[in-house]
Amino acid sequence: MTISTVSPTETGIRKTGPGTPERLNPETGIRGEGAPENRKTGAPEPPKRKRGRPRKIRPEDAAPPEEYRSTAVARCMEYARAAVEGRITVCEKTRMGCQRFLDDLGRAGQDPEHPEKRDESFPWHFDEHRASRPVDFMERFLVPTKGDYDRMELMGWQCFIECNLFGWVDGNGYRRFREALILVGTGNGKSTMMAGNATFLACKDGERGADIYLLANSKEQAGIVFGECKSQIEASPYLAPRFRTLRDGVYYDKMNATIKHRSSDSQRLDGLNPHGAIFDEIHEYRDFRLLNIIKRKTVKRRQPLTIYITTMGNVIDGPLAYYYGLFTDAMAGKLKPDVGDRMFAYIAELDGTDDIERPENWIKANPGLGTTLQLDELEKQWERCKHVPSERADFICKQLNIMVNADDMAFIQPEVLKRNRDVIPEESLLGRRCYGGFDLSNREDFTAAALEFPLDDGRVYVLLHSWIPQRKVEIDQEKIDYYGLAMRGLLTIVPGEYIQQEDVWAWFAEMSWKYEIVTIGYDPANATRLRQMLEVGGRHQGKSVQAFDCQVVRQGPITLNDPMKDIKERLLAGQVVSNQDPMLQWYTDNVRISGERRHTDKENWMPMKRNRFRKIDGFMAWLDAHCVMMEKQPAGQIYTPPAIRVVDLGGRRRR
């Protein structure tokens, strides 16, 4: 959290005489006014707790005292305008979020310069008093616990986040935003700011019995934010006597509120009733288990708030990858208002065209640069680590918020996959020529089949389907959303412990009723029976199935090297369309280039998986299809669709 260094006379505890500090009056918030003192020592005493039921909070109790002049909203407005006007250096997504804020002010009729922008159907308004309260609370009552700082002072980007989260309300005064994604580089004060939010939600959000949970993928990570929250309270002269801080939690008895921490491996996740949930470093999450449990529990509250705060990571199939796209769409107005209006995002990253070697670009991912981070220190770190591939990748990922694969033998980087997010209607492919491939692997594991369509503009469309036994799903070693993918038609969960080859034959049969499958490439290992079934043809669901032309694709560097490099070139050029198929992205991200001497010495590429749980079956099926397409359709040949072809319009995949 930004925090500025000031003289001791400006801090929460001010020296007024020999050994006599002057404290904030707990009733008015004004220093030195009526603060009780111990007659023997002269030191201020903590306020006495009143017995009985807590009194009802009056509106005037929430308002700042007269002597305190809040500048929170002014700093928020100035930051948003400076970002939009280009007076400060920010990335495109940060600018998008600031523009959204200013546009919403206009729609709410709160832009005095543009009253014509008012939209009567816009259900939200910006309450400046509510917006300033969390900022005022943190700056007045929280004490820095780390570093050489005397008092809290939020930076402009932090004021922008806080004012947005708490300032936008509906006609009944309930909070607009229910979820928030905050993505900034490491060292910018995320944990400190989130600890302050947890304390504010517990005691100043007007929710009796507010349960606040600090969550992370591991118990150690969850304890970092909780420890910061606990330390801030214990160091605050105003908050320390009002909270009970124990090892298992922090308790605010006046409102029967609690602050606790949990992790993905916690056994005590049932029975929760969170008013606030703060997820730290969600880039480490590989599944949605903890997120789903908490989000389902928040429906019991009137205005719950869930915050995801993180740096970038390299888990391309984890929650962060999905939320990154979802919250970006919310900022861009691509989601339905009932959904998008409830989602706030602050994303700080380097833009795709920025040179990572230029330190002047780094502030885009590090808005605290110059305050909590110093540019010269970051430059020294970069000079030290840029020559070591794994350390270089970690700096780019965690400090510059660019998703990278730390494996120096990775086939493709995650940010390259983002270039291939085009979508085309599958109906436009009906009757088109395509090339198939399948990878049977172990029948008790993943099996995949693919079709590759050469498009008229030089791109290729990849249609992929996977099968997995129910038993494998129950073990859940890969930590992917099996059932969600199955509901989208991208994956078939087969009852039992293994996959029958008839399932793969049936899929090709159904695809042949819609598309012209020229040739099917395959790995001959364990494929004799399926090849025979494909070459013979037959009947399926009462319909005739053609006999397919099948071609062996030898799994060696001589055969796979050139097609594998061609696929990478197409990915780099953004020429692969899959309608954003998450399974294909997952398979491709798991591929690394073989480091065996017999391959690398001759610069021949052979695909292999990163580890036993990071499968590449879908990529191998696509690679087999691409091998036969390169052989059957030489480069530069323009595809001409058949004049007449009968197709079956049924059985389309759901997206």
Residue-level pLDDT at 317: 67
Residue 385 burial by Cβ neighbours in a 10 Å radius (0-12, 13-18, 19+): middle
Residue 441 inside a domain? The answer is yes
pLDDT of the residue at 613: 66
* pLDDT level of residue 433 (50, 70, 90 thresholds): very high
Mean pLDDT value across residues 398-415: 75
Summarised one tens digit per residue, pLDDT across range 451-496 is 999 999 999 999 999 999 988 888 776 667 888 888 988 999 988 8
Q: Please report the pLDDT score of residue 268 as a whole number.
A: 63
- Verify that 393 and 430 share a domain, yes or no: no
The DSSP annotation for 250-296 comes to: EEEGGGTEEEEEEETT-S--TT--EEEEEEE-GGG--SSHHHHHHHH
Is residue 235 pLDDT above 80, yes or no?
A: yes
Number of helical (H) and strand (E) elements in the chain, helices listed first: 21, 25
Q: What is residue 130's predicted lDDT score, i.e. its pLDDT?
A: 94
Q: How confident is the model at residue 405 (pLDDT cuts 50, 70, 90)?
A: low
170 in Cβ contact with 176 (< 8 Å): yes
The model's pLDDT over 238-263, given as tens digits with 9 standing for 90+, comes to 899 999 999 889 999 998 999 998 88
Per the structure, the complete domain to which residue 222 belongs is given by: 72-347
Alpha-carbon distance of 511 to 489, in angstroms, equals: 14
Mean pLDDT along residues 503-511? 94
Q: Is residue 323 located within the same domain as residue 442?
A: no
If one compares 112 and 258, the residue with the highest pLDDT of the two is 258
3-state secondary structure 138-153: HHHHCCCCCCCCCEEC
314 and 455 belong to one structural domain: no
Higher pLDDT, 652 or 515: 515
pLDDT value for 148: 66
Q: Do 624 and 527 form a contact (C-beta atoms < 8 A)?
A: no
**What gap in Å lies between CA 419 and CA 571, rounded to an integer?**
7
Residues 305 and 405 in one domain: no
Question: What are the tens digits of pLDDT across the range 170-224?
Answer: 999 999 999 999 999 988 888 788 888 999 999 998 888 889 998 888 777 778 8
My answer on whether 464 and 319 are in the same domain is no
Burial, 198: exposed, middle or buried (Cβ in 10 Å; 0-12, 13-18, 19+)? buried
Q: Which of 314, 347, 380 marks a domain boundary?
A: 347
Q: Could you tell me if residue 531 is inside a domain?
A: yes
What is the pLDDT, as a whole number, of residue 639?
47
Q: What are the residues facing 540 on neighbouring strands?
A: 543
**What is the rounded average pLDDT of the residues 350-356?**
88
pLDDT of residue 152: 80
Span 48-72, average pLDDT: 48
Q: Does residue 573 lie in a domain region? A: yes
Q: How many residues does the chain have?
A: 655
> Is it the case that residue 227 has pLDDT exceeding 50?
yes
Q: Band the pLDDT of 20: cuts 50, 70, 90.
A: very low
Whether residue 652 is predicted with pLDDT greater than 60 in this model: the reply is no
Average pLDDT over residues 376-388: 87
Answer whether residue 516 is part of any domain: yes
Q: Which residue has the higher pLDDT, 32 or 547?
A: 547
Nearest to 96 by CA among 331, 413, 411: 331
Note the pLDDT tens digit of each residue in 581-633: 989 988 998 888 875 544 444 467 888 776 666 788 999 999 999 999 998 87
C-alpha pair distances (Å), 550 with each of 198, 442, 517, 521: 61, 20, 10, 6
Q: Within 13 Å, how many C-alpha atoms sit on residue 26's CB side?
A: 14
Tokens of 264: 């993905």
Q: What is the pLDDT of residue 595?
A: 52
- List the single range of 296-305, 387-396, 556-565 with lowest mean pLDDT: 387-396
Most confident of 47-51, 156-160, 367-371, 559-563: 156-160
CA separation for the pair 295, 178 (Å, rounded): 10
Position with higher pLDDT, 602 vs 323: 323
Same domain for 456 and 340: no
Question: 506 is written with which tokens?
Answer: 């049936």
Give residue 442's pLDDT. Answer: 66
Whether residue 436 sits in one domain with residue 404: no
Residues paired with 21 in a beta bridge: 15
Helix or strand holding residue 344 (H, E)? strand 343-347
Is the model's pLDDT at 39 over the cut of 60? Answer: no
> Which amino acid makes up residue 109?
G
Instruction: Quote the number of domains for the chain.
Output: 3
State whether 368 and 462 are in the same domain.
Answer: no
Quick one: pLDDT band at residue 17, thresholds 50, 70, 90?
very low
C-alpha distances out from residue 417 to 390, 401, 428, Å? 20, 16, 23
Pairing of strands 460-469, 576-577: parallel
Range list of H helices, 469-500: 470-475, 482-487
CA distances from 369 to 113, 184, 186, 374, 524 (A): 32, 11, 11, 6, 56
pLDDT of residue 21: 39
Q: Is the pLDDT of residue 15 over 60?
A: no
- 397 CA to centre of own chain: 13
Average pLDDT of span 424-440: 93
Determine whether 12 is exposed, middle or buried from the number of CB atoms within 10 Å of its CB (0-12, 13-18, 19+).
Answer: buried
With a pLDDT cut of 90, the percent of the chain lying above it is 41
Same-domain pairing of 394 and 537: no
Q: Are residues 338 and 364 in the same domain?
A: no
Mean pLDDT of 120-146: 90
pLDDT in tens, 518-560: 999 998 888 888 999 999 989 999 899 999 999 999 888 888 8
**Residue 511 and residue 486 share a domain:** yes
The angle, 0 to 180 degrees and rounded to 10, between the axes of the packed helices 72-85 and 128-141 is 110
**pLDDT at res. 265:** 61
Of residues 212 and 317, more confidently modeled: 212
Q: Are residues 381 and 519 in the same domain?
A: no
Q: What is the mean pLDDT of the chain?
A: 81
Is there a domain that residue 129 lies in? yes
CATH (domain of 141): 3.40.50.300
Q: Considering the domain boundaries, does residue 60 fall inside one? A: no
Q: Specify if 17 maps to a domain.
A: no
CATH code of the domain in which 570 resides:
3.30.420.240
Give the pLDDT score at 147.
63
458 assigned to some structural domain: yes
Q: Is the predicted pLDDT of residue 144 greater than 70, yes or no?
A: yes
Q: How far apart are CA 234 and CA 223, in angstroms?
A: 16
